[in-house]
């Protein structure tokens, strides 16, 4: 994996499958994201990333709605 392949989750297009590389957040947010199954090494699918509307990802068999600020803190490849 090259550094240029890593990007914020917020830049991933609908339908793409990516793997979480890191999460640049504080202890509280990291803990909450881990509880939802979002941690480094996990593959996720972006269901909806349109300019208007919710940012939706699929983790295993669950769909999660994330704020764009949080999606910018999750680095994927």
What's the rounded Cα separation, in Å, for the pair 70 and 9?
A: 9
| Residue closest to 36 by CA, chosen among 65, 16, 13, 14 | 65
Q: Is the pTM of this model over 0.85?
A: yes
pLDDT at 58 over 80: yes
| Domains observed in the chain | 3-76 (2.30.30.90)
State the average pLDDT over residues 11-31: 96
Cα(27)–Cα(33) distance, rounded to whole angstroms? 10
Rounded Cα distance between 22 and 55, Å, is 18
Residue 32 binned pLDDT confidence (cut-offs 50, 70, 90): very high
> Nearest Cα to 19, choosing from 2, 41, 39, 1?
41
Q: What percent of the chain has pLDDT over 70?
A: 95
CA distance 18 to 10: 12
pLDDT of 26 > 80? The answer is: yes
């Amino acid at each position: 994996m090259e550094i240029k392949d890593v990007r914020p989750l917020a830049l991933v297009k609908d339908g793409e499958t990516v793997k979480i590389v890191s999460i640049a957040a504080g202890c509280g947010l990291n803990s909450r994201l881990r509880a939802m199954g979002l941690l480094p090494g996990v593959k996720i699918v972006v269901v909806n990333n349109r300019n208007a509307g919710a940012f939706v990802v699929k983790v295993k068999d669950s769909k999660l709605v994330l704020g764009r600020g949080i999606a910018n803190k999750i680095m994927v490849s």
